[in-house]
Each structure stands twice: as structure tokens, then as C-alpha cells.
Amino acid sequence: MDVEIVDGSLHSGAPDGPIETQWDRHRFDMKLVNPANKRKYNVIVVGTGLAGGAAAATLAELGYNVQNFCIQDSPRRAHSVAAQGGINAAKNYPNDGDSVWRLFYDTVKGGDFRARESNVYRLAQCSVNIIDQCVAQGVPFAREYGGHLANRSFGGAQVSRTFYARGQTGQQLLLGAYGSLMRQVDAGRVKMFARREMLDLVVIDGHAKGIICRNLVTGKLERYVADAVVLATGGYSTAYFLSTNAVNSNATAAWRCHKRGAYFANPCFMQIHPTCIPLSGPSQSKLTLMSESLRNDGRIWVPKKKGDARPPADIPEDERDYFLERRYPAFGNLVPRDVASRAAKHACDEGFGVGATGLAVYLDFADAIERVGHENVKQKYGNLFDMYEEITSESPYERPMRIYPAPHYTMGGLWVDYNLQSTIPGLHVIGEANFSDHGANRLGASALMQGLADGYFVIPYTLGNYLAQTTPGEATTDDSAFNEAEANVRGTVDRLLAARGKKTPREFHWELGRLLWDNCGMSRTSDGLKDTGAKIRSLRDEFWENVHVAGSGEELNQHLEYAGRVADYFELGELIAIDAYHREESCGCHLRLDHQSAEGEAVRDDENFSHVAAWEHTGDLSKPRMHREKLEFENVHLAVRNYK
């Protein structure tokens, strides 16, 4: 599996000089669009989650004409709505030692030194403005008795910098952005296109100028033209079939952009979240996340005896292995996600797992209940406990929860420079869809922060810089590039409908998910990865011959929509495997069993792999070209992550 490797072709474009003033200097250096001219520019924003919703609203506030797209029936339902835990910001309200610098440092280190320093520093800087903006919008964050904003520690952070609105932070932040967006719809500056799926990018003379959408109600293909395109279409965890993501989450838009020339960076960096409700049956469609905050008070354990089938209450204290507390005495149950997930998998692989499938560990609140009382635990976690009981019909007050890791977040995504522009000029990528800020592992409560930073505070400036250098209204939908892109989409739709085979897209997706989970999941091996690509390829060939898609293209057809997303996952899946194979080190979420210490901890190879692997589509899915962006660490010194 040899691939061509290119060095020196990618430049972040971040300014030199002290990191603290980079963004200020860059903002000064960027070109501005004259206020009177802004209304002449049209911008397409695909996605209405925190990133897309915030970007569309803010660009419209500045005076641009925005066309905004989403798959759901309403922008308010974007997947961001499901985030529970909270959003980080370096406000230092608790006076406990936080600062922009510390948030920057924690994020670079948490990402296991595989993120770009300049972007992360800017993210930490913008974090403080986000909270101001959201409070002004009326987001009802939790407050202290004195009326000021409350914070909690989250995901193992040593300071309390997480803002939250009960267990519904994502929903409240999204409704804030949605409100701002609706205000611009009312003002006529945003035109909202719900129930549309972007199926191709239109590139004219090397610049992104439009998109092809399928109208999900009528089935008709539609053309939209603009002076620039902003992609905010979220992550691709659902490639693994079962994940914590919403069922309509997909990689389609990002993947089609990749095939038009946008490089895909670090596709194998996929976060597996440690605390999810385990799989219970074959009909299951997703895995439900139990908030990370539970690890603040819950203790994780398995029986010391393999295959011990006694009910948890009958297993005496000295026959339990609190494996996180044992292996990581300093952080205990609060180690970062990747470390916690791996330890749970390890326990289960060794035969210590619990529950009917043996693929679960206990998360136990008995001690917490004894320490602070039933009422206090209920106040803190009541809604999560109820949710768990609804799903499993077991009460966490009486019996420890059973949890297991699940695919949750993708750090990988389309490559972007400091301006969040992809390798296609005019195509900017924000939120989870880009690769930029979290390296090989994302810290809890940092995705919401990134989505809103990108949408409210970065793209309004950097897109302006691009637009200032283009003439508005140059492209039209009659351009031959539109004809070609539409024909391309139609070809795929027709091909899916024509196969009329024997297996459903869901059956194929399930098989693909198993391949990815087994080989590109929590622990990976060179041997396993070597032929994963080939296996995916042959399954993909079978898919195109033997898939059965119901109905026609000229109607509301959810089955067809789903089949198209699975088809793209088959292509992305192969790239995930290729990327994982070629990263011959362990870092963050990416644990290669052939690169670990004697104690089973990840071993990075900074000399050879301190880079972003950005893949170029060559026309041959099995032979992508790798472009390496070298990562320099001038401010946070390379160090081994140690949570012992």
C-alpha cells in the first residue's frame, strides 16, 4: 500500500511573530469589503449547526446576502442540538488559574501535539467573546446564587471553565444562533433552504462558486450560485454505523468537495467516547451518550474475576478492579477520553466485561450517594439517570450503569489554512467538518467552542478577505460546470436506483461499520489495517452491484438519501483505513498496538509524524496522494502526555 508523499505543498498562512498578537495582526492585514459593496456579494453556507448557523447569521449582519442550507426541516434541529455537557471558555470567573494561555496549552496537549498552534491560540482567544455573545442572546446558562455565571470542571480539566445550561447546552447555544439566523431571515438577508441536501460542489476556474442540492421533498436537483461557499456540515462518526451522532449526520457534502479538490486531513482521527450506553440488540440505530460529567462522581470498575456473572451488588469491594484509579492514580476516573475508552476496551477484551454481551464496564454511583446523599446526586445527574433508565429499564440509583465506548466525534476533516479556507479557493470549511483545532483528540466541551468561534468570530473576517479579492456576481448557473456537476449527481442517483439488488443500504452500512470499528477503532494494528482498505473496496463493489434502493428519485425518498450517504462512506472508509495505516505511531485517539510502551501507553513519534496528513483525491480511491503539513511547536513544548 504505497502512496505518494508530497512535502512543502501546504501552508497554513498564519502570520509569523508572537502567537499572542498573530490574530490581531492578521485581522489588520486582511482586506476589507467596503460596507456599501457587501450587499453585492452572495455567500452559500451549507449547514445550520453552531458553526453554520452562527456564520450565516453573522455574515448577514455584516450585509452579505446569504443562502443557508440544511437537511432537516428546520435549522433548529442541526446535530449540535444534542450536545449535553457544556462549552469551554477562558473567562477565569472562578479565579482558579485559567487564562487564554492555559486553554491554548491544554488544547494543544490534549490533542497530543497534532494540532496547529496558531489556530488553537485564536480559538482560546475567541472563547471569551462567545460567552458574551450567547448571554446577550438570552442563552439561559446556569448561574450562581449571586446571579453570576456558574462553571464546572469537565473532562478532566484542572480548572473550572465549562459553561452549561442544564444538560442541554448544545440546544440552548443552537437556539441562540438560530434566533440570530431567523432575525436575518426576517430582514431578508438570509434565504433559508431547509430539506435540501448538497450533493456536489461547483468549481469554476478553480474557485468554489456554487452547489447542487437535491430538494428532499420533490426530489428535484437544484442549482445555487454564489461568490463563495462555506461548508459547515459536521462530522462523519456515523461512518461507523453505530455512533452517538444524529442519524442524518453524514460526510456527503465534505466528501464531494474532497472529490472536487479539497484535501481531507487526518481522516483516521476519530474520537471514541468512553461513556455511552452499550449495544443491546440488532435493531439498534444509535448509541446514546451519557455525559462525561458523570465521571466526576461515578467510579468505573469491572470484577477481578473473568466472566464473573454475579449481580454487581454481590461482588465484594476487594473483588472489584477500579482500573482507572489503579492505572492512573493522579487523574483516576477523570483521565481524557481516549485513555478512558482504551482502558475500558482493554478490560473487556481481557474477558472482564459485564452485562449480557460482556462489552460493558460499570460506572458506579454508590459511593457518591453515600457521600453526598441521594438528593444531591439526583440534583446533579437526575435527568441523565432518568434517560439511562428510560433506555435500559435499570435505575442507576440502585445498580451501577453499564457503559461502553462509542464513536463520537471526528477530529479529522477537510484541510483548512489559518483563514479556514480549503485547498479550493473560495471554499471555506468550519466546525466539525474541518480538521483544524483538536489534533488527535478533542477535549470535552471544546467542539461547541470551536463551532461558534469559527462561525461568529473567524469566518466573518477571513471570508471578507477572500471576497474583497473577487468580483461579485461573476458566475451563473448556466455555466458548463453546473451542467457537469448536475449530471454527475444525477448519474449517482440513477446508478443507486438501477442496481435493484438484494441487500439494503442498512445491511451494507452495518458491515462497513464493523470493518471500521474492528480495524480503525480504539486500537489498530499494522496487520489489521493492511488489508482493511481492500476489504472495504470489495464490499463497496458489492454495494454498487447488489444494493436495493426503494422508490424513485423524483419524490421524497429517505431510502435513497440514506443509500447515497452510505455510498460516500464506502469511499471515505477506505481513506480512513489508508490514513490509519500510514500513521505509524500512536497519538491521541489513534492507538497503534505496534507503537505502545511496555505498560500499554501510546507512544508518539514526533520525529517522523509531527505533521498533518492531508489527502488529495487522485481519481483512484485506493491511491490518494498525501500532502504533509509540518507542525511546529514553538509555544507548547513537545512532551509525553502523562496522566499517571
Residues designated as active site: 337
52 binds, among ligand FAD, another protein, none (CB under 5 to 8 A by kind): ligand FAD
Q: Which amino acid is at 133?
A: Q
Burial of 66 (0-12, 13-18, 19+ CB in 10 A): buried
36 binds, among ligand FAD, another protein, none (CB under 5 to 8 A by kind): none
What's the CA gap between 396 and 188, in Å, rounded? 50
| 155 touches another protein by CB under 8 A | no
User: Count of H helices and E strands in the chain?
Assistant: 18, 20
7 binds, among another protein, ligand FAD, none (CB under 5 to 8 A by kind): none
- Tell me the CB-side half-sphere exposure of residue 196, using CA atoms within 13 A: 23
Q: Which amino acid is at 354?
A: V
What's the CA gap between 83 and 243, in Å, rounded? 14
Cα angle, residue 639 at apex, residues 124 and 99 outer, rounded to 5°: 25
Q: Minimal distance in Å, beta carbon 50 to another protein? A: 13
Instruction: Please give the residues from 26 up to 55 whose contact with another protein meets the rule CB under 8 A.
Output: 54
Kindly tell me which residue out of 184, 250, 532, 557 binds ligand FAD, with binding defined by CB under 6 A.
250
What's the CA gap between 550 and 540, in Å, rounded? 19
Coil vs helix vs strand at 314: helix
122 binds, among another protein, ligand FAD, none (CB under 5 to 8 A by kind): none
What's the CA gap between 251 and 564, in Å, rounded? 10
Kindly tell me which residue out of 451, 513, 521, 533 binds ligand FAD, with binding defined by CB under 6 A.
451
| 253 touches ligand FAD by CB under 6 A | yes
Bin 501: left if φ > 0, else alpha if -120 < ψ < 50, else beta.
beta
Residues 6+ apart with CB under 8 A from 65: 39, 41, 42, 43, 189, 191
What's the CA gap between 75 and 163, in Å, rounded? 23
Q: Minimal distance in Å, beta carbon 380 to ligand FAD? A: 16
74: how many CB neighbours lie within 10 A of its CB?
A: 13
CB 46 within 8 A of CB 232: yes
599 binds, among ligand FAD, another protein, none (CB under 5 to 8 A by kind): none
Q: Identify the residue whose cell numbers are 462561525.
A: 455
Kindly tell me which residue out of 23, 64, 385, 456 binds another protein, with binding defined by CB under 8 A.
456
**Which one of 25-33, 110-118, 430-438, 521-529 is the stretch in contact with ligand FAD (CB under 6 A)?**
430-438
CB 292 within 8 A of CB 444: yes
What's the CA gap between 150 and 165, in Å, rounded? 10
**Which one of 286-294, 295-303, 514-522, 575-583 is the stretch in contact with another protein (CB under 8 A)?**
286-294
Q: Minimal distance in Å, beta carbon 28 to another protein? A: 16
What's the CA gap between 255 and 264, in Å, rounded? 8
Q: Which amino acid is at 382?
A: G
| 432 touches ligand FAD by CB under 6 A | yes
Q: Give the closest residue to 410 by CA, choosing from 236, 231, 588, 256.
A: 236
Q: Minimal distance in Å, beta carbon 95 to ligand FAD? A: 23
What's the CA gap between 190 and 232, in Å, rounded? 16
Q: Give the closest residue to 547 by CA, choosing from 573, 574, 566.
A: 566
Kindly tell me which residue out of 28, 34, 36, 283 binds another protein, with binding defined by CB under 8 A.
283
- Tell me the CB-side half-sphere exposure of residue 38, using CA atoms within 13 A: 21
Binding mask 91-130 for another protein (x = CB under 8 A): x-x-----------------------------------x-
Cα angle, residue 178 at apex, residues 23 and 40 outer, rounded to 5°: 65
Q: 390 is written with which cell numbers?
A: 428510560
Instruction: For ligand FAD, give the closer residue by CB, 79 or 114.
Output: 79
Instruction: Please give the residues from 479 up to 518 whose contact with ligand FAD meets the rule CB under 6 A.
Output: none
| 51 touches ligand FAD by CB under 6 A | yes
132 binds, among ligand FAD, another protein, none (CB under 5 to 8 A by kind): another protein
Instruction: Please give the residues from 218 up to 247 whose contact with another protein meets the rule CB under 8 A.
Output: 246-247
Binding mask 413-452 for another protein (x = CB under 8 A): ----------------------------------------
74 binds, among another protein, ligand FAD, none (CB under 5 to 8 A by kind): another protein
322 binds, among ligand FAD, another protein, none (CB under 5 to 8 A by kind): none
Residues touching another protein, count (CB under 8 A): 82
**Which one of 11-19, 444-452, 474-482, 632-640 is the stretch in contact with ligand FAD (CB under 6 A)?**
444-452
CB 110 within 8 A of CB 443: yes
Kindly tell me which residue out of 42, 133, 441, 446 binds ligand FAD, with binding defined by CB under 6 A.
446
Report how far Cα 575 is from the mean position of its chain's Cα atoms: 17
Q: What CA dihedral angle connects 268, 270, 274 and 277, to 10 degrees?
A: -110
| 73 touches another protein by CB under 8 A | yes
Instruction: For another protein, give the closer residue by CB, 76 or 116.
Output: 76
What's the CA gap between 7 and 2, in Å, rounded? 16
Binding mask 55-94 for ligand FAD (x = CB under 6 A): --------------xxxx-----xxx-xxxxxx-------
| 127 touches ligand FAD by CB under 6 A | no
Instruction: Please give the residues from 532 up to 551 whose contact with ligand FAD meets the rule CB under 6 A.
Output: none
Binding mask 158-177 for ligand FAD (x = CB under 6 A): -----------xx-------
Kindly tell me which residue out of 147, 311, 316, 619 binds another protein, with binding defined by CB under 8 A.
147
**Which one of 191-199, 318-326, 589-597, 607-615 is the stretch in contact with ligand FAD (CB under 6 A)?**
191-199
CB 628 within 8 A of CB 10: yes
232 binds, among ligand FAD, another protein, none (CB under 5 to 8 A by kind): ligand FAD
Chain residues that interact with ligand FAD, rule: CB under 6 A: 46-52, 69-72, 78-80, 82-87, 169-170, 196-198, 232-235, 244-245, 249-250, 252-253, 289, 408-409, 431-433, 445-448, 451
